[in-house]
């Protein structure tokens, strides 16, 4: 009977598709990297932006009292695999949008992959996307240099 293995394969593929749009999270180094790359373009105050940039460079001497939030409604990055010069990302925030090209887009795409956001191939491109990104950084915990203090949640999926 061959219907059994085919049915099992169909079920596994359906579960994989359902999981592609479920909530995911990352913490530690990958969360700090994702928050730092997105924070450059996010509509947050200058002081927290500087603290996030300092942490990402390895600095811990920045005095900052509270937790820092970095959020984005949607991020979609495309890297060409036919036109290998093509790199772009579109970031959508509650109060605006930001488009990246070239090195900046490549940096965000690579950071998303490092954070566990899957990329899929489509029409000459590799596409990685997420929605509902919410990163929280706790400077007091990060300063302890014990691997904690950075957490991100998101919904992974390539919603163009």
- For residue 26, the model assigns a pLDDT of 96
Show the DSSP H helices in 20-101 as ranges: 29-39, 46-56
For residue 112, the number of C-alpha atoms closer than 13 Å in the C-beta half-sphere is 31
Local confidence band at 87 (pLDDT 50, 70, 90 cut-offs)? very high
Report yes or no on 127 lying in a domain. Answer: yes
Is pTM beyond 0.75? Reply is: yes
- For residue 23, the model assigns a pLDDT of 63
Report yes or no on 73 lying in a domain. Answer: yes
Q: Which residues of 8-30 are buried (b: 16+ CB within 10 A; e: fewer)?
A: eeeeeeeeeeeeeeeebebbeeb
Report yes or no on 92 lying in a domain. Answer: yes
Report yes or no on 8 lying in a domain. Answer: no
pLDDT of residue 70 exceeding 80, the answer is yes
Report yes or no on 146 lying in a domain. Answer: yes
**How many domains does the chain divide into?**
1
Q: What pLDDT, in 10s, does the model give residues 109-149?
A: 999 999 999 999 878 889 999 999 999 999 999 989 899 99
Report yes or no on 6 lying in a domain. Answer: no
Report yes or no on 133 lying in a domain. Answer: yes
**Which range marks the domain in which residue 151 is found?**
23-156
- For residue 122, the model assigns a pLDDT of 79
Residues 6+ apart with CB under 8 A from 50: 62
C-alpha 28/C-alpha 55 separation (Å) is 12
Report yes or no on 48 lying in a domain. Answer: yes
């Amino acid at each position: 009977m061959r219907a059994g293995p085919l049915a099992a394969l169909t079920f596994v593929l359906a579960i994989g598709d359902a999981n592609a749009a479920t909530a995911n999270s990352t913490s530690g180094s990958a969360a700090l990297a994702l928050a730092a790359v997105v924070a450059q373009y996010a509509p947050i105050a200058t002081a927290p932006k500087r603290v996030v940039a300092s942490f990402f460079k390895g600095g811990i001497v920045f005095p900052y009292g509270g937790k820092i939030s970095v959020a984005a409604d949607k991020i979609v990055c495309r890297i060409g695999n036919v036109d290998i010069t093509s790199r772009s990302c579109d970031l959508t925030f509650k109060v605006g949008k930001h488009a990246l090209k070239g090195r900046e887009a490549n940096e965000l795409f690579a950071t998303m992959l490092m954070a566990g956001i899957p990329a899929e191939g489509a029409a000459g491109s590799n596409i990685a996307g997420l929605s509902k990104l919410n990163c929280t950084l706790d400077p007091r915990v990060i300063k302890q240099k014990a691997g904690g203090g950075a957490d991100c949640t998101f919904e992974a999926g390539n919603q163009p």
